Every structure is written in C-alpha cells, then in structure tokens.
Amino acid sequence: MKIKAVIVEDSRLARNELKELIKKYSEIELLGEAENVDLGVELIQKENPDLLFLDINMPEKDGFELLEMLDEVPITVFTTAYDEYAIKSFEYNALDYLLKPVNEKRFAMALDKVRDKLQTNQEETKPAKKLAMQSQIFIKDGESCWLVKIGDISHFEIVGNYTRVFFEDKKPLLYKSLNQVEEKLPDQSFFRANRQQIVNTNFIVNVLPWFNGKLKLQMENGEEVEVSRRQSYIFKDRMSL
C-alpha cells in the first residue's frame, strides 16, 4: 500500500527529522513540505495526500486553523513539542500525535494506525469531486473542534448564512452555506428534505405521512424533519414507498 504524505511544520529541524524517519519506509511517498499554514493548505489542495504530519503550534496560524481551511481532511498525525497540546489533540479526533523529538518506535506505532485507517477507507470508493461516507470534515465552533466522518452526520440545517451539523449529541455550526455542503455530499445517502435541511437517510427511523402530501422523517436522535411537498414525491420514488 502506497501512502502519499505531506509535512506542515515551521521548524526545518523537525521537518528534517520527520523526513529521515519517513525514508525508512518505502511505502511512504513524501509529496512535499510546507513551513506555514497558508503554504500547507496550498500543498494539500494540490497534492491531495493520504497522510498529513501537522505541527500544532506555528506562528500566525496554528495547525487547527489549517484543518478548518480544508474541505476534506487527510488522515492527520499531529506533531508537537508540548504535552498539553498532545493531550488536547485527542479532543480533535486526530489519528495520533507525536511528541518532538520524535521517537522511532513511536513513529512506527503511528504508521500502523495510518495503515489500518487507510485499509478501512479503501473499502468504500470515493466518488469524483464528492466526499465519501468515510471522508472527514473539520468543524470549529467557538473553542470546540471536531474531525467528523461524513457517515456519522445525521443531518444538516441552515442557520442564517451557515450550516448546523448534527452528529452524536453535538450541534456545532459549520461556516459554509448549505448549498456548499450539498455539493460535496455523497448522493446515495444524503437527501435534500426541504430548503433548510439535508438528511442522512441511514439515520431515518420512521417515515410518517404529513399534511398536504408531505412527509415527516423521524431521526435516530429524536429530531423530526418535514419533507417539502415536492421533495416528498422524489423521496417516495427514491425509497420505493
């Protein structure tokens, strides 16, 4: 399995350290490196890597801000010199973290996790220009941040110019319009119920007839979504109701 990787790290010494470790693994193809967030975003968008080695504490913008700038987040291994950042990284659902200077054994353990994650992701084919159900998006709302799998999101809802994202018991805001979100979602699992909401059909537990030919969807988390009249006909046809 070939693993395409990039490094975003402001310290040249730390970048060189990572490159020396990477050289020991022929399966890792290093596509490039960047010394700050803006160059890192440009590199990631150009190369579309499988794996991102990301420094947390960088000048001007930090690693978390980089993730927020991406439409789709690669498998991410944080690198940091500070224990408190390493612990905090688990709150962001990073695959793993590496404390600097990076220990060779610890690097090997992180790479094992990367292989397992890639194997899981390859079980689902990613549609062109669309996110797959295994794809991750980064959401930052206030001081809280999440890396969320598309397949774990039950529905999306318009809030002004932004979009509320529902997963588990969380309802953070994503600073993108619902139309922008819809363009990226896998068509086979997500359905535009009305002007305000898009639902993941895998989370629907009940479909109820509603007024004037409309339908009401009951979701796993207890939320109810009303399907517009026009979309109700499309939904019935799609679900063979």
User: Which pLDDT tens digit goes with each residue over 23-74?
Assistant: 999 999 999 999 999 999 999 999 999 999 999 889 889 998 898 888 888 9
User: Are 34 and 96 in a shared domain?
Assistant: yes
Digit-coded pLDDT (tens) for 109-160: 999 999 988 887 776 544 446 889 999 999 998 888 999 999 999 999 999 8
Q: Check whether residue 59 and residue 23 sit in a common domain.
A: yes
Which residues are bridge partners to 76 per DSSP? 52
Same domain, 154 and 199: yes
The first and second tokens of residue 2, run together, are 């070939």
pLDDT tens digits, one per residue of 154-183: 999 999 889 999 999 999 999 899 998 999
pLDDT of residue 127: 47
CATH number at residue 114: 3.40.50.2300
Which residue, of 121, 140, 174, is where some domain finishes? 121
> Residue 211 has which token pair?
């007024």
Residue closest to 139 by CA, chosen among 101, 181, 98, 103: 181
Query: Do 117 and 178 lie in a common domain?
Result: no
107 and 79 Cβ atoms separated by less than 8 Å:
no
Average the pLDDT over 207-228 and give the result.
92
Asked whether residue 8 falls in the same domain as residue 80, the answer is yes
pTM of the model: 0.59
Task: Specify whether 13 is located in the same domain as 104.
Answer: yes
Number of structural domains found in the chain = 2
Q: Do 29 and 74 belong to one domain?
A: yes
For 44, phi then psi, to 5°, come to -65, -45
- 10 and 110 belong to one structural domain: yes
Domain residues for the domain of 92 are: 3-121
Q: Where are the beta strands (DSSP E) in the chain?
A: 3-8, 28-34, 51-55, 75-80, 96-99, 136-141, 144-149, 153-159, 162-167, 173-174, 190-192, 197-200, 204-209, 215-219, 224-227
Note whether 82 and 166 are same-domain residues. Answer: no
In a domain, 136, yes or no: no
CATH number, residue 175: 2.40.50.1020
Same domain membership, residue 155 and residue 111: no
- The reply to whether 154 and 55 lie within a common domain is no
Residues 154 and 110 grouped into a single domain: no
